[in-house]
Chains A and B, each alone.
Chain A
């Protein structure tokens, strides 16, 4: 059974500072996804990482994948209030997607 662990589960960020969310998974996979969810809303796709060493960036968010370490990171640069949300990583195994528990991010002034 594929297990996906995110940490931290809760992250209080100060505006302007940098932070990292970690996603570890238990079995081999070469497809990893990051999603954002605002309270009461659906999930929005942020990144799809398809190979070892993949790095993708969009605005203040950058995601990377190390398949050998079974680790992905989501780096947030110079946090702003608009980034307050819950962030999920998910890992694919065959046709099944397994999600982490999510990291709830709150950005304070």
Chain B
């Protein structure tokens, strides 16, 4: 199993550009989520999904969209990038919806100029 994979590893955007961060898992996990990590603030939940076709907002959803058309994939879209979205983004998944052990992807470092 590849586990949780994320692409790209690193991205530079200009203010106003849009992009999609990709996340995929091959463990048949129902629950998937996106976090951003900023220095001194731990991780903050952006969006999450408890299964294909079901998504919901986390703590900091503004400026981001998600969709879950398959169990395996959970892309995160930045609609119009802003410097405040410069961060490290982690995708995670877990079996079932009881939030058992979460498995994190390697992360995407995003710099918005």
Contact = CB atoms under 8 A, between A and B. Distances in A.
B99 A42 contact: no
Contacts of A95: 31, 48, 50, 56, 97, 99
Given A42-B105, A42-B106, A99 B99 contact: no
B90 A100 contact: no
A79 interface: no
A31 interface: yes
B44 A42 contact: no
Interface in A17-38: 31, 33, 35
A43 B100 contact: no
Contacts of A99: 35, 42-44
A8 B70 CA distance: 41
Given A95-B48, A96-B48, A45 B43 contact: no
B101 A101 contact: no
A97 B45 contact: yes
A43 B42 contact: no
Contact of B43 (A31, A44, A88, A92): A88
Interface residues of A, number: 21
A48 interface: yes
A98 B59 contact: yes
A97 B33 contact: yes
Contact of B42 (A42, A45, A100): A100
A101 B58 CA distance: 17
Nearest to B54: A95
A37 B12 CA distance: 24
Interface of B: 31, 33, 35, 40-45, 48, 50, 56, 58-59, 90, 92, 97-107
- Considering the complex of A and B, which 8 residue pairs feature the smallest CB-CB distances, nearest first? A99-B42, A99-B43, A43-B104, A42-B104, A101-B42, A45-B101, A92-B99, A42-B106
